[in-house]
Amino acid sequence: MTMREKLLQTLTALQPEHLDVVDESHMHSRGQETHYKAVIVSLAFHGLNAVKRHQKVYATLGELMGQFHALALHTYTPEEWAQQGFAPDSPTCRGGSKHDH
């Protein structure tokens, strides 16, 4: 199972109405399966600020958090998603990893 598949499977615990996990490793210097973008639309985020939403995602992912380098989180309630309908593009990585030479 790829890391993307593991992330998708684990994040279903948040009962998302929309879930997309994109491997963005090609945009970064560290190679494959290191950088991800997750767009999660769930009622579980209702009433939570961005920090609390991210903490909820981190808690859900648990030990998986240590198995990749970066995770760009875009968390929405269904109402917010209906208004916005898309997540912003991720910026290009500027490096700085201990794995860069």
pLDDT in tens, 59-81: 999 999 998 888 999 999 999 99
Structural domain harbouring 66: 3-84
Listing DSSP states for 46-61 in one string gives TT--HHHHHHHHHHHH
Q: Give residues with Cβ within 8 angstroms of 11, minimum separation 6.
A: 19, 21, 38, 40, 57, 60, 61
| E-assigned strand segments in the chain | 18-23, 35-41, 70-76
96 within domain boundaries? no
Looking up residue 74, the CATH number of its domain turns out to be: 3.30.300.90
pLDDT tens per residue, range 38-61: 999 999 999 999 999 999 999 999
pTM strictly above 0.95: no
92 within domain boundaries? no
